Amino acid sequence: MATTQNTTSGSGSPRVAVVTGGSGGIGRVVAERLAADGMHVIIGYAGNAARAEEAVEAITQAGGTAAAVRADVADDDEVTALFDRTEELFGGIDVVVHTAGIMLLSPLAELDLADFDRMHRTNVRGTFVVSREAARRLRRGGALVNFSTSVTKLALPGYTAYAATKGAVDAMTMILAKELRGRDITVNAVAPGPTATPLFLQGKDQTTIDRLAAVPPLERLGRPEDIAETVSFLAGPARWINGQILYANGGAA
């Protein structure tokens, strides 16, 4: 039996989604996809207000509804304010997609601990803070989608510290799904493989890009739209998928 996208809340009004890191890269494409699915979208961003407003404008011009709110995902007060503002604008929250994160690459023996601490603050503490607020605010029938990485399985050299932070995301995701028993809220994580975003492509020569593109049996890099499609599924019709890490990597791992 075919599934259909769930675009309305229990009250019959459009569902409301918060997308952290929604001003660029995969996050922006996710925000645009959820808006196209019929959701009202709040774009959470860290610092680039102009880019966030561009994302809002793109959604609005396509017929959707969106607004931008600044928040440091690792700051408890700012995340609380982000959720408060969402409820003020749209009356509630049904979906939280936490795409915000940073990736600093280095062999373990050469990694500056300051870089490790930066990643830990954003990727681990940030996921904890956003997930905690989502657990407190999401309405029945809601969904939390965190972001992990396929590198936890691919075990690529240079990704040790980054993969370690995402391993923490996996643990939080699987346990929180069980802690929300009885709430009718799903908690999952998407684990992209190599995906053709400006951040991923930056600093890589064509030989490296071609080598990574050849890893999946589908023989290409992922596209942000591939990841957004996966998020759309978890945020809407996928009510029987819960507590899972969903690898969106074309079969690379």
The pLDDT assigned to 11 comes to 62
User: What tokens appear for 6 in the block?
Assistant: 């769930």
Kindly name the residue from 45, 159, 162, 247 that is annotated as catalytic. 162
Judge whether 162 counts as a catalytic residue.
yes
Mean of pLDDT values over 121-128:
98
The pLDDT tens digits for 58-96 are 999 999 999 999 999 999 999 999 999 999 999 999 999
Give the list of residues 6+ apart from residue 1 with CB closer than 8 angstroms, or none: none
C-alpha torsion sign, points 211, 216, 217, 221? negative
Q: Is residue 237 exposed (0-12), middle (13-18) or buried (19+ Cβ within 10 Å)?
A: middle
pLDDT(29) > 50: yes
The pLDDT assigned to 5 comes to 57
Which among 46-50, 132-136, 215-219 has the top mean pLDDT? 132-136
The pLDDT assigned to 205 comes to 87
The pLDDT assigned to 1 comes to 32
Structural domains in the chain, CATH included, are 16-248 (3.40.50.720)
Taking the model in full, what pTM does it have? 0.93
Give the list of residues 6+ apart from residue 149 with CB closer than 8 angstroms, or none: 159, 162, 163, 166, 191, 192
| Intra-chain end-to-end CA distance of the chain, in Å | 29
Of 62, 40, 64, 66, nearest in space to 52 by CA:
66
pLDDT(111) > 70: yes
